[in-house]
Amino acid sequence: MKKLLVFVGIAFITAILFYQFKPIEYAKSTLIPTAYTASYINKDGLTIKNRVNAPKGYKRVPYTAGSFQAYLRNYKLKPFGTKIINYDDTEYFWQRGHIGVLDIPVPKNGLQQCADALIRIRSEYLWDNNRKGEIGFNFTSGHYFSWEKYAEGYRPKIKDNSVSFHKTAYKNHSKDNFYKYLNIIYMYSGTLSLYNELPKINNSKDLKIGDMLIKGGAPGHIVMICDEAINASGDKIYLLFQGNTPAQSVHLVKNLEDTTQSPWYHLEKDAVIPVSNYTFYNSKFVSFK
C-alpha cells in the first residue's frame, strides 16, 4: 500500500524518484524549445479552461453546468508560474513539468498523495453539490467505508488483514469532520483500491473529463482528465492533472513527449503514455461511478 511510503520514509522514496527521473529530465531538456506551447497558454487564465487554448481545428467538448466535467474544466488555478510545493512547505525538486497549480491546499500530514488528491477533488464536488450520500471508497482490503458511516460515529478497527467498523464517536456531519474522514481514506485507500473498485474503460473513444489514467500498485500512479477537445474527424485530445509523492500541489501537466501540442495529450488504452515524471505502460483507464 502506498501509505507505507509515509511511514518507511518519504525522503527515501524521493531519492529513488530523483534517481529514476534524472535521465528523463536530461532528455526532455534537449526537446523543449523556447517557444514551447506559447500559442496554447494564456498566462492570465485562472481556471483550467482559461489557462489553455484549444489547438486550431479543435473545439472543447460541451458539458452541462453542474456536471463533474464542468466542475473540473472550470477548476481554479493559482497565478501562472506558481511552484509545486511539498506538504512540508519545501519546493518540489523539479518545476519544469507543469503549466498550472490547482487552488487546493496540501495538508501538512503528508497523506494527500496522487490517488488521494483525486479522491479529495471528487469528494469535494459531491459535497458541494449536495450528493454527500455518494461519498465513499474501498480500502485496499476491499472494505467499503462511506462518509455517512464516519459522520454517524463509526471508525475502522484494523488488525492484520481484518477490518471491522465500530461506533466509537458522536455524530458529526461538519466540514471539519469530513476532512478527518478523508484522512482515513488516504491512509487505507490508493491506486490499487481505485483500480480494483472503479469501472474500467475499455474503449479509448469513450474517455471523458473526470476519467483517470491509472497504474494500480504499491506504488502506482494516477492522473485525471480535466479537459477535452475534438476536431471534425472525431480525434480527441485531453488535459491532465496529478498529485504526487511526496504529497504536493496538484498540478496541470505539460506533455513532454509532444511539445508541438503540449499540454494536450492523445490518450489510447494499452499505449505507453509518459506523463511528467512518470510513464504509464500498457495504459488503463477507470471512471468514478
pLDDT band at 227 (very low <50, low <70, confident <90, very high): very high
Give this prediction's pTM: 0.87
pLDDT in tens, 239-280: 999 999 999 999 999 999 998 999 999 999 999 999 988 999
Res 27 pLDDT > 60: no
Query: Could you tell me what percent of the chain has a pLDDT over 70?
Result: 87
d(C-alpha 208, C-alpha 128), whole Å: 21
pLDDT value for 218: 78
What is the predicted pLDDT for the residue at 164?
95
pLDDT value at 20 more than 50: no
Q: What pLDDT score does 97 carry?
A: 95
User: What pLDDT digit, counting tens, does each position of 100-115 carry?
Assistant: 999 999 999 999 999 9
Calculate helix-pair angle for 114-128, 175-188, nearest 10 degrees: 150
**pLDDT beyond 50 at 189:** yes
Residue 121 Ramachandran class (φ > 0 left, ψ -120 to 50 alpha, else beta)? alpha
pLDDT computed for residue 245 by the predictor: 92
Q: Is 145 exposed, middle or buried (0-12, 13-18, 19+ CB in 10 A)?
A: buried
> For the segment 157-176, what is each residue's pLDDT rounded down to a tens digit?
998 889 999 999 999 999 99
Share of the chain above pLDDT 90, in %: 83
pLDDT at residue 236 above 50? yes
Sequence-distant (≥ 6) Cβ neighbours of residue 25 within 8 angstroms: 94, 96, 277
pLDDT at residue 277, as a whole number: 86
Residue type, 92: Y
How many residues make up the chain in this entry?
289
Question: If you ran DSSP here, which 8-state letter would residue 123 be given?
Answer: H
Instruction: Taking residues 187-211, report their average pLDDT.
Output: 97
Mean pLDDT of all residues in the chain?
89
Distances (CA, A) of 68 to 73, 121, 127, 178, 231: 9, 10, 12, 20, 23
Give dist(CA 70, CA 63) in Å, integer.
6
Among the residue ranges 11-20, 116-125, 138-147, 183-192, the one predicted with the least confidence is 11-20
- Phi and psi at 245, nearest 5°, equal -115, 125
pLDDT, one tens digit per residue, over 37-67 is 457 999 999 999 999 999 999 999 999 999 9
Backbone phi and psi for residue 8, each to the nearest 5 degrees, phi listed first: -70, -35
